[in-house]
Amino acid sequence: MNDHTDTTTTTTATTTTPAGAADRSGPDLTFQDEVRDLVRDAYRSIPTGAGAAVTERYYDAHDLTGIPDDALAWALGVGDPVGQAGLQDGEVVLDVGCGGGLDSLLAARRVGPSGRVIGLDLLDEMCERAEAAARSAGLADRCRFETGLMEAIPLDDDTVDAVISNGALNLSARKSRTFAELARVLRPGGRLWASDLTVDEGTLPPEVLASGAAWAGCLAGALAPRVLRRKLERAGFIEVEITPVEPFGVDQASAYPLFPDELLAALRRLLPSEDLQRLATSVVITARRPASEHERPVVEAPRADPLVHTGVRALDDIAPDEVEAPGVTIRHLKRVDDVDLKVMDVEAGGSTPYHVHPHAHEGVIVQGHGALRLQDGDQPLTPGDVFWVNPTEPHAIAAAPDRSIQLVCMDCFVD
Ligand SMILES: C[S@@+](CC[C@H](N)C(=O)[O-])C[C@H]1O[C@@H](n2cnc3c(N)ncnc32)[C@H](O)[C@@H]1O
């Protein structure tokens, strides 16, 4: 194991950030550190993985021949991402949330002696297990395991050919940032191949969504396929495919040590019986980083909407008194390093024009209510919400019909 120590045990600790990794340490506006702490505690406290319940369900028995018993016992995934990832001799593969290392070992066999696998996990303990398994499988020379966060991957830009992941992406409380990190470390043209769970919107009751154990079990953090696709595309991925494999129900959940009896009982109590055997769906997520600028998806201007002025302009080119929408004012606050801070006020019923920025753009809602209008629909905005818009993505900020909205915008020129 290398010396990337786990530096994130408190909400104020910082993470070792390598060259190239996005460093946006600051106040935790949405309790993401608490989520990470509960995930860490949950995985640290389990005595073993789900073992045969996972390996027999998802893997080809032939592929598992010669894999050390410990790596099989620690299996905690929800699919077999390596089986069809088409890994080639000599490739460099990153296994995100590698756990006890099962998929890292399978990938190491596929990439051969000239290939390399880097297993990344939040926990030292998991990396140590994976490292021991690689040694006993005779694959240690092509594997290395690093303790670190998927939200700040300790690798340089453009360094891996393929990212694999099994039951780990859902654990991130900052998925947009995680996906941006995956895109960053992939070489142009590199592939993502992940197994995870998705949910149908509205299936899980609030009691389950608010349960730490359900988050640690990859359920409460699962996204609807539509949202997952949008986040991956916003991170710059193309050819995003989310392929359902099979339903994930309470019987499957009970095989994982992350699901305590109380949570299983709550699921049985709160959900109609017809939903119990399809709490979620295990899916295969595939996507690719564009090989060149030519492959970048063309972002169409959104449909005309009577509420807003249509047309796409770079808002930064518009002086405050020129904003073509009544009731919108933008005040420049200051520039901090590469970030411009502005305050935007939109009167009740008003909206900015649809516009794009050549750079990434974040905002925090200070007061009021409204919506972030995107091509595929509106996202409600309420105080404390943080939103993120990718470079060149058309969007508008609208106030609710009866409430104004005020936000602080951050134009991030580093991206
Ligand atoms: C459900 S287990 C899956 C492990 C492994 N992929 C497998 O298939 O058995 C999820 C793993 O992700 C790790 N993890 C959770 N949050 C993480 C984060 N933010 N960054 C890196 N790893 C994380 C956990 O420690 C755990 O080992």
Domains of the chain by residue range = 32-295, 313-412
DSSP code for 101: S
CATH 2.60.120.10 fits 313-412, yes or no: yes
What spacing in Å lies between the alpha carbon of 39 and ligand 1's midpoint? 9
CA of 122 to the centre of ligand 1 (A): 7
Instruction: Return the pLDDT at 305.
Output: 38
Q: How many CB atoms lie within 10 A of CB 185?
A: 25
For residues 257 and 181, what is the distance between their CA atoms, to the nearest angstrom? 29
Quick one: which atom of ligand 1 is closest to the CA of 95?
Answer: 6
Task: For the chain, count helices (H), then strands (E).
Answer: 12, 17
CB 224 within 8 A of CB 326: no
Cα angle value 268/275/43 (rounded, 5°): 60
Ligand 1 pocket test, candidate residues 64, 72, 98, 147, most atoms within 8 A of CB: 98
**Cα of 406 to ligand 1 centre, how many Å?**
38
* Ligand 1 centroid to residue 6 C-alpha, Å: 14
Closest ligand 1 atom to residue 149 Cα is 20
Distance 236 CA to ligand 1 centre (A): 23
Domains 32-295 and 313-412 belong to one CATH topology = no
Q: Give residue 120 CA to ligand 1 midpoint distance, Å.
A: 8
User: What's the CA-to-centroid distance between 196 and ligand 1, angstroms?
Assistant: 11
* Spacing of C-alpha 95 from chain mean position: 14
Q: Which atom of ligand 1 is nearest to the CA of 74?
A: 9
Ordered alpha helix ranges (H), 186-318: 206-209, 212-216, 225-234, 250-253, 261-270, 273-276
* 81 Cα–ligand 1 center, Å: 14
Q: Looking at domain 32-295, which of 2.40.37.10, 3.30.2130.10, 3.40.50.150, 3.30.43.10 is its CATH number? A: 3.40.50.150
Report d(CA 412, CA 415) in Å as an integer. 6
C-alpha 59: how far from its chain's center?
Answer: 24
Give the distance (Å) from ligand 1 centre to CA of residue 136: 21
SS3 370: strand
Task: Provide the pLDDT for residue 376.
Answer: 76
CA 219 to ligand 1 center in whole angstroms: 14
Single out the residue of 218, 227, 224, 172 nearest to residue 195, CA to CA: 218
Nearest CA to ligand 1 atom 10: 168
- Three-class DSSP category at 338: coil
The residue written with tokens 């592929």 in the block is 63
Q: State the DSSP H helix or E strand holding residue 280, giving kind and residue range, or none if neither.
A: strand 280-288
Q: Whose CA is nearest to atom 17 of ligand 1?
A: 122
Hey, which of 39, 174, 181 would you mutate to test ligand 1's pocket, going by the most ligand atoms within 8 Å of its Cβ? 39
Mean pLDDT per 10-residue section of the chain, whose length is 415 residues: 33 33 44 84 96 97 96 98 94 98 98 98 98 98 98 97 97 92 97 96 80 90 90 92 96 95 93 93 97 70 37 41 66 70 86 75 86 85 83 83 88 56
pLDDT at 174: 87
Backbone angles phi, psi at 321, to 5 degrees: -75, -5
Q: Is 255 left (phi over 0), alpha (psi -120 to 50) or beta?
A: alpha
User: Ligand 1 pocket: which residues have CB below 6 Å?
Assistant: 36, 39, 43, 75-77, 97-100, 102-103, 120-123, 126, 149-151, 166-168, 171-172, 218
pLDDT of residue 94: 98
- Cα gap 358→250, rounded to integer Å: 46
Q: Whose CA is nearest to atom 4 of ligand 1?
A: 99
Residue bearing the CA closest to ligand 1, atom 8 = 77
pLDDT at 284: 97
Helix-, strand-, coil-residue percentages of the chain, each rounded to 5: 30, 30, 45
pLDDT computed for residue 77 by the predictor: 97
Q: Is the dihedral of CA 189, 190, 195, 201 positive or negative?
A: negative
Helix, strand or coil, per DSSP, at residue 1: coil
Q: Which of 15, 38, 82, 126 to mutate to test the pocket of ligand 1 (most atoms within 8 A of CB)?
A: 126
| Residue 55 alpha carbon to ligand 1 centre in Å | 16
